[in-house]
Chain A
Amino acid sequence: MTNELIKQRLTEKFGDQLINWEEPYGMLTFSAAKDLNLKVLQFLFDDPELRFQFLTDLAAVHYPDRKGEELAVVYHLHNLVDNIRIRFKVFTDVAKPDVFSASALYSAANWMEREAYDFYGVNFIGHPNLIRIQNVDEMEYFPQRKEYPLEEQSRIDKDDEMFGRGGSFGPGNERSALGTLSDDDKEALKQ
């Protein structure tokens, strides 16, 4: 089994619907329209020659500059019999990020898709339980999208009690343990 054979077999089946063939660092990579993702995955799973039956990894990526295909879902698949890996991508519009869920095909995809939803907001259609997994349920945004930059490291407007940054914390302005207590607690201590 070689990359050429896989490419040939897939092209026979899907023709020019599979695009962007690449081999970065030796791993065969291609993409398809997002409506095709389950068809391609199912074919890769069922085909007696290809046998890509192990879902190694599923990750979402945000490309804000690609208009109409801002979000990518990347599948890493592994044929354990012939020991060869491929990478398959679908792109979706960030305004309507609907992608079919692969969780019926791979049980492993369940949490991976929840993670992709949690951080990038990819809406996996057909997922049995598409809720946040790492972040709190009340969160209203998708934090790994590029429009949410990490906090500016030099900001000083934030008074952080625990990590001692900014605000009134600094040399010559050390706080005593009492200083951090609320007024009620101070009252309680006096009594």
Chain B
Amino acid sequence: METTHHIKLPPGSLEKQTTTLNLGPTHPATHGVFQNILELDGERIVDAVQTVGYIHRAFEKIAERRPLYQITPLTDRLNYCSSPINNMGWHITCERLLKVQTPKRVDYLRIIIMELARISDHLICNSIVGVDTGAYTGFLYVMQYRELIYEIYEEVCGSRLTTNIGRIGGFERNFTSTAFEKLEKFIKEWPVVLAEFENLFTRNRIFMERTIGVGPISAERALNYGFTGPNLRAAGVDYDVRVHTPYSSYEDFNFTIPVGTTGDCYDRYLVRNGEMHQSLELIKQAYKKVQEFKGADADVYHADVPEYYLPDKKDVYTKMEALIYHFKIIMGETNIPAGEIYSAVEGGNGELGFYLISDGGRTPYRLHFRRPSFIYYQAYTELTKGGMLSDAIITMSSLNLIAGELDA
């Protein structure tokens, strides 16, 4: 590393020279494939250089050859801890581009799925911070409730991690009664588990000592670094895409945005926990609204967009029009309107944006993913410099870095 020669040891340093430590690309403490070359004076970090790109998969290039619906599986693999939010974000981008109005029931069902995904995302992050501070129990204990969330996904779309959930205009099929039963079970049991999880950590002396004042960032620096999501809110800025640019009818709901003050690991933990409470509130409200639909409205699960939403299979066999649409959608022969759109959703880690340029062809001319992890990871050197090596590990996990989102 070139920086070696430029680093001056602080006066009175016990070390005769600094040590270079390769943290990653595959290190048990980094939870993902990315490399940090740390320059250490004893246990204290004097400099750090990040290397990303180990799982770069050229999604933006691949997307230039794919029709809209085939891009959804690519978005799964960005932040794979909350794939449904990425999927919905992409569908919403397409719907805005195509000027499709989704029915209210679809919006509410989407909110249920997106907030479940947010809970599972924050759950992983916070319990991993626990693991890195030496408390494995919380992680192991809450995993069964993430499992329950994954079972709900499975009931809705058939898969668990890379969900490819939903379609342009709605969902591929209606929610089954089993899905709602599992959701009710989750709504009933989850608050108890979350309370126990908080009991394990929030006022735990060891946990507080390890996280308070560790990896802090001021609101000003966080904004300059393009932080969004829980990491920005922990620094005290109440920016949330769900409130500032509502999508999927978030404006119909009552919820608050938890904010912190110091932007350290403890505040990030508290903000994520607060958001899990808010997500549960949103799920309850959305489920209540979904139950209020009566008659024919209660079976609506997609908008009427025949050019992009696959027709019923039985119609494909019997109706000429449905067959044509089916063929055109599968072969991606529908031209998308020319235009340029930036659309964002509040992902697990912050503002997940899709910048789509269409020249009127069947595929996007250019698609750019605004990936929150990629943008805030560049602040990692500033967050960890001067701190201990063990603090750098906690800072990394409390930022919730997801390799898939770093590299696209």
Q: Interface of A with B (CB < 8 Å)?
A: 24-25, 27, 29, 53-57, 59, 61-62, 74, 76, 80, 83, 85, 87, 106-108, 110-112, 115, 119, 132-135, 143-144, 150
Query: Considering only CB atoms, which chain B residue lies closest to A62 in the complex?
Result: B366
Query: A57: nearest residue on chain B (CB-CB)?
Result: B370
Query: B407 to chain A: which residues have CB within 8 Å?
Result: 134
Residues of B57-110 whose CB lies within 8 A of A:
58, 60-62, 64-65, 96-97
Do A150 and B61 touch (CB < 8 A)? yes
Taking CB atoms, residues of chain B closer than 8 Å to A112 are 226, 375
What 1/0 flags go to B216-229 for Cβ under 8 Å of A?
00000101111000
Cβ of A46 to closest chain B Cβ, rounded Å: 14
Interchain CB contact under 8 A, B223 and A27? no
B residues in contact with A74, CB < 8 Å:
355
Q: What is the CB-to-nearest-CB distance from B52 to chain A, in angstroms, rounded to a whole number?
A: 6
Among B158-166, B299-307, B339-347, the stretch that binds chain A is B339-347
A-B contact pairs, 25 of them (CB 8 A): A53-B224, A55-B226, A56-B226, A56-B342, A57-B342, A57-B355, A57-B370, A61-B366, A76-B353, A76-B370, A80-B239, A87-B342, A106-B226, A107-B225, A107-B226, A107-B378, A108-B225, A111-B375, A111-B377, A115-B374, A133-B52, A134-B52, A134-B408, A150-B62, A150-B65
The 5 closest A-B pairs by CB, nearest first: A108-B226, A134-B53, A59-B368, A134-B56, A57-B370
Collect the chain B residues with CB atoms within 8 Å of residue A57's CB.
Answer: 342, 353, 355, 368, 370
B291 to chain A, nearest CB (A): 33
Residues B103-124 near A (CB distance < 8 A): none
| Chain A hits for B366, CB < 8 A | 59, 61-62
Distance between B69 CB and nearest chain A CB, rounded to angstroms: 17
A106 and B224 within 8 A (CB)? yes
Interface positions of B (Cβ within 8 A of A):
52-53, 56, 58, 60-62, 64-65, 96-97, 221, 223-226, 237, 239, 244-245, 339-342, 344, 351, 353, 355, 357, 365-366, 368, 370, 374-375, 377-379, 407-408
A135 to B58, CA, bound (A): 9
Which residue of A has the minimal Cβ distance to B226? Answer: A108
Using Cβ atoms and an 8 Å threshold, which residues of chain B touch A76? 342, 353, 355, 370
* A53 contacts across to B, CB distance below 8 A: 223-224
Report the nearest A residue to B368, measured CB to CB.
Answer: A59
Task: Tell me the complex Cα distance, A54–B225, Å.
Answer: 9
Our pick among B52, B340, B370 for the contact of A24 (Cβ within 8 Å) is: B340
CB neighbours of A135 from chain B (8 A)? 53, 56
A171 vs B52: C-alpha distance when bound (angstroms):
39
B378 pairs with A110, CB closer than 8 A: yes
**Are B375 and A108 interface neighbours, CB within 8 A?**
yes
Please give, as numbers and ranges, the residues of chain B lying within 8 Å of A110 by CB-CB distance: 378
- Assembly CA distance A28 to B186 (angstroms): 43
Q: Write out the residue numbers on chain B whose beta carbons fall within 8 Å of the beta carbon of A144.
A: 60-61
B353 touches A56 (CB 8 A): yes
A134 cross-chain contacts in B, Cβ below 8 A: 52-53, 56, 407-408
Taking a contact as CB atoms under 8 Å apart, the answer to whether A143 and B342 are in contact is no
Chain A, residue nearest B51 (CB): A133
**Closest Cβ of chain B: how far from A168's Cβ, in Å?**
27
Name the CB-closest residue of A to B65. Answer: A150
Q: Complex formed: what's the CA distance from A16 to B370 in Å? A: 31
Expressed in whole angstroms, the minimum distance between the Cβ of B235 and any Cβ of chain A is: 13
Smallest CB–CB gap between A135 and chain B, Å? 7
Given contacts A56-B351, A107-B225, 4 further A-B contacts (CB under 8 A): A24-B341, A55-B226, A59-B366, A115-B374
